[in-house]
Amino acid sequence: MSSTNSSQFQPITARPMPGRRTGIVAWLRANLFSGPINSLMTLATVALLAWSLSHAFDWAVARAVFGAQLEACNNARGLGACWGVIAEKGRLIVMGRYPDTEHWRPVIATALMLLVVGASCMPRFWNRWLPLAWLVMLAVYFTLMKGGMLGLTEVPTDQWGGLPLTVMLTVISMTLAFPLSIFVALGRRSTMPAIRTICTLYVELIRGVPLITVLFMASFMLPLFMPHGVTIDVLIRVIVGITLFSAAYMAEVVRGGLQALPKGQTEAAATLGLTYWQTQRKIVLPQALAMVVPSLMNTFIGMFKDTSLVTIVSLYELTGALSLALNSDADWRPFKIEAYLFITLIYFVFCFAMSRYSLWVEARTAVSKVR
C-alpha cells in the first residue's frame, strides 16, 4: 500500500463565481425563466399580452376618435373607439336627468358627502364632532338636491340621477343598515328564543333571494302595503329595499365579529356588574366591530356595485343614466360600448379605492395586535 501522491498538495479546481443575485438579469432569471416550464409560460404569456394589447391599443388609441365628431366616429366604426361619445354625452351620463343649469348643486352636495364619508374613514376624526358633521352634511345635501327653498328651484326626486344618485343610495342605505344590522346580529345571538328566531328568519329570508326581487317588491308591492291615500316616493321605497337587503348581509358580518370575541370578555363585564346593554356598548361592540371593518368594507363595496340594479326599477343612477342618454339618441347609440367602458372606469376607481382602504385597515389592526 503506497500513496505516491499523498505528499503532493493538489488543490481542487476553484468553484465558479456564484451567479448574480441582484440586477435585472438575476431578477429575470429568478422570476421569469427559473425553469423550462416557467420559461415556456413566460413566452406564452408575453405572446398573448402582446397580441391582445396591440389590438387594444389599435382600437382604443391609434384609430380612435377623441372629439365629439359624429361623422368621424361613424367612419371609424368597427375599427377604432369613439371616445367622442363621452365628450358629447359624458355630462348627461354622470349627472342623469338633473336640470342642466343646476348641475353645480349635485356636484357640491356629492363632494360634501364624499368628504364627510372620507373623514369618517380616518381614525383621527373619530370624535364626538363626527355625528354632528353627518347631520349637517345630510341637511345641506338634501336641501341642495331637492331645493324649493332659499331661492333654489325645486328638483323632484325622479329627476335625480347619475353618479350623485349612486353615491347617495350607497351612503344613505349603508348608514341606515349599519345600526339595524347590529341589532339583528345581537338578536341572532340572544338567549331569548322568540327574538332569535325572528332575527334568523329575517336574515335567512333576505339572503336567500336576489336583490332584484327585493327591488321589485319595493317598487310593486310596497305601494300596496301602505294605508289608503299614502304614497311613498320611489326613491324612498328603493332606499328602504336596499337598506333591508344590506342589513341582512351586514348582520352576518357583525355576527362573525361577535362570535370571534372570547367569552371571557362578557364574563368579565358581568363580574363588574354591567348590564346587558352596557356590556354590549362598552365592551363587546367596540372590539367586535373593529375586527370586522374589512368585511364591512366589502359589503359597502358590494352595495356600491349593486346600486346599478336600481335602473331596473327605473331610477337613473350611473348605469341607468347611460341607457337614458344613449337610447334616446339614435346617432350616438352605436357607441354604447365606449360609454360602458367609461362608467366601468368610474366604478373601478371607487371600488378599488375602497378595497385599498380596507387593506389599510386590516394592516393597521394587525399591527395593533402585536404586543
Q: For cell 337610447, what's the residue? A: 327
DSSP state for residue 82 in the 8-state scheme: B
In terms of CB distance, is 90 or 334 closer to another protein?
334
**What's the min distance (Å) between Cβ of 107 and another protein?**
23
**What's the min distance (Å) between Cβ of 85 and another protein?**
13
Provide the grid cell at 173: 342605505
Q: Give the residues across from 162 on adjacent strands.
A: 317
In terms of CB distance, is 113 or 214 closer to another protein?
214
**What's the min distance (Å) between Cβ of 198 and another protein?**
6
Residues 265, 270, 272, 274, CA torsion sign? positive
Inter-residue contact 79 to 333 (CB < 8 Å): no
In terms of CB distance, is 178 or 249 closer to another protein?
249
In terms of CB distance, is 140 or 312 closer to another protein?
312
In terms of CB distance, is 146 or 305 closer to another protein?
305
**What's the min distance (Å) between Cβ of 309 and another protein?**
6
In terms of CB distance, is 209 or 260 closer to another protein?
209
**What's the min distance (Å) between Cβ of 99 and another protein?**
26
DSSP for 332-369 reads TGGGHHHHHHHHHHHHHHHHHHHHHHHHHHHHHHHHHH
Q: How far apart are CA 307 and CA 243, in angstroms?
A: 11
- Where do contacts with another protein occur on this chain (CB under 8 A)? 31-32, 34-35, 38, 41-42, 45-46, 49, 191-195, 198, 205, 207-213, 216-217, 220-221, 223-228, 301, 305-306, 308-309, 311-312, 319, 334, 336-337, 340-341, 343-344, 347-348, 351-352, 355
Residues 121, 122, 128, 129, CA torsion sign? negative
**What's the min distance (Å) between Cβ of 367 and another protein?**
19
Q: How far apart are CA 13 and CA 4, in angstroms?
A: 20
